[in-house]
Amino acid sequence: MLSDVVVVDLTRALAGPHAAMMLGDLGADVIKVESPTGDDTRQWGPPFVSGHSDGDGDAQESTYFLSCNRNKRSVTADLKSDEGRDLLTRLVRNADVLIENFRPGVLDRLGFSYARLHELNPRLVICQITGFGHDGPEATRAGYDQIAQGEGGLMSMTGPDPEHPTKVGVPIADLLAGMNAAYGIVAALHERNSTGVGRVVRTSLLAGIVGVHAFQGTRWTVAGELPRAAGNHHPSISPYGLFRTADAPVQLSVGSEGLWARFAPLVGIDVADPDYATNPLRVANREALTARIEEVFADAGAETWLARLAEAGVPAGKVRSLDDVYSWDQTRSQGLLVDVDHSSLGTISIPGPALRLDDLPYAGARPTPGAPPRLGQHNDEVRAWLDAVDAGSSSD
């Protein structure tokens, strides 16, 4: 779908690489420009895995890097050198998108202000990803995921109780910023079809976190009620959360009065019980209701209760570990695990894209996914492509 789009990816770590990878999943030609020492995440580990190298010894590959750089070509360049700046200039002239996540002002000092980039290529869509926004009193702060989770309020709502703020188990601020960047870029490319010029798209880790406060945000801004961590139970719906059985917990979601009518008889509660007859009553009496449910659930294991809940039409599920997730037939049926042919590691399995288009097993126009590149793997290939493009432009 984006096979005619060339993306210059100047980013490192996770937010920017994730955005560029999403575009690559949809067919864009993503050229990842790395420093001679490579993206920071190439050194983030363990775990590392060993593969063959072009020289002597084994090549060490970071599983962190592998997670966010599929469908890209890698070139190395020192942007502080004349040769590196020349390469970037040539790429910008032939690109549709440039993504960067330097601190504000770094590109300017390298000689590539946004004004200069648009002089080189007026059609260029530029995406800037920062930690806390490109302007405002804290624009110069470095952005790291867990700091953004805390500063953006997410950790205050996550965890067993208000005294134990807890981060999400993945770098969710980075991932949300990357997703927001990708959809902003696609919108700017669509606009360019009408205007003929590119624009600057900006987002941040802070914006990613605040942007998904959802009902917890309006709970404060409209109702004046300050959300606090409440463990594994929904603050506005009951019963909705994690419940213990005889051997393992199950997740339960009774999100409507119709579902309550199906669920209550399973645990011996009268649907019209005056303490639980409506959702606001069930929320107000959550502790007592949870205790009654878990007392009944203690008579059987998780699989038995999941079968009973499914038969009654009550949404429920187990808590899977990742080995279980990736061996689950449903995960595999959705293309969420893909095999790629890595130049050093051979065939490896990595998490796949979240989108499916029509009946294609893999997102976008690519018949098969591309493996994350080795550092500088495409140095010669990209330079040869630039030579060919520049030669064609000269002949025109």
pLDDT tens-place string over residues 121-180: 999 999 999 999 999 999 999 989 999 999 999 999 999 999 999 999 999 999 999 999
- Same structural domain, 297 and 347: no
Cα(179)–Cα(203) distance, integer angstroms: 10
Residue 389 domain-assigned? Answer: yes
- Asked whether residue 325 is domain-assigned, the answer is no
- Residue 234: count other Cβ atoms within 10 Å of its Cβ: 16
Alpha carbon distance 317, 332 (integer Å): 18
Do 147 and 50 sit in the same domain of this protein?
Answer: yes
Across-strand partners of 184?
A: none
CA distance 296 to 244: 10
Least confident of 106-120, 211-225, 296-310, 335-349: 335-349
Residues 314 and 196 in one domain: no
How many domains, in total, are found in the chain? 2
Residue with tokens 């490896």: 348
Pick the closest to residue 127 from 82, 87, 64, 178 (CA basis).
178
The answer as to whether 78 is a domain residue is: yes
Does position 393 have pLDDT exceeding 90, yes or no?
Answer: no
Kindly state whether residue 230 falls inside one of the protein's structural domains: no
Statement: residue 91 has pLDDT above 70? yes
Residue 251 lies in a domain: yes
Q: Is 189 helix (H, G, I), strand (E, B) or coil?
A: helix
CA distances 110 to 6, 84, 105, 210, 369, Å, are 22, 10, 9, 31, 34
The CATH number given to whatever domain includes residue 40 is 3.40.50.10540
Helix (H, G, I), strand (E, B) or coil at 340: strand
The CATH number covering residue 258 comes to: 3.30.1540.10
Query: Which of the residue ranges 52-61, 127-136, 201-210, 377-386 would you say has the lowest mean pLDDT?
Result: 52-61
Residue 363: pLDDT above 60? no
Structure-token pair, residue 149: 């989770």
Residues 29 and 124 in one domain: yes
- Chain segment 56-89, per-residue pLDDT in tens: 556 789 999 999 999 999 999 999 999 999 999 9
**313: phi > 0 → left, psi -120 to 50 → alpha, else beta; which?**
left
Answer yes or no: do 194 and 282 share one domain. Answer: no
Domain with 281, as residue range(s), is 240-319
Please tell me whether residue 29 adopts helix, strand or coil conformation: strand
By the 8 A CB rule, do 108 and 98 touch?
A: no
Using the 3D structure, point to which of 266, 292, 319 is the last residue of a domain: 319
Domain presence at residue 227 = no
Residue 395 has pLDDT above 90, yes or no: no
Note whether 37 and 117 are same-domain residues.
Answer: yes
Q: Quick one: how far is CA 300 from the chain centroid?
A: 37
Interval 167-196 mean pLDDT: 98
Domain boundary at 300, 319, 338, which? 319
Residue 226 domain-assigned? no
Annotated active-site residue 174? The verdict is yes
* Shared domain check, 182 and 39: yes
pLDDT at 33: 98
Question: Same domain, yes or no, for 197 and 264?
Answer: no
Per the residue annotation, which of 25, 29, 39, 174 is the catalytic one?
A: 174
| Residue 87 forms part of a structural domain | yes
Q: How far is CA 317 from CA 38, 91, 299, in A?
A: 41, 49, 18
Q: How many C-beta atoms surround the C-beta of residue 354 within 10 A?
A: 12
Q: Which of 319, 346, 378 is the last residue of a domain?
A: 319
Residues 50 and 195 in one domain: yes
Residue that is written with structure tokens 């959802």 in the block: 214
Q: Are residues 256 and 124 in the same domain?
A: no
For the four alpha carbons of 201, 104, 31 and 40, in that order, the dihedral sign comes to: negative
Asked if 27 and 77 sit in the same domain, the reply is: yes
Q: Are 278 and 151 in a shared domain? A: no
Q: What is the mean pLDDT of residues 321-327?
A: 96
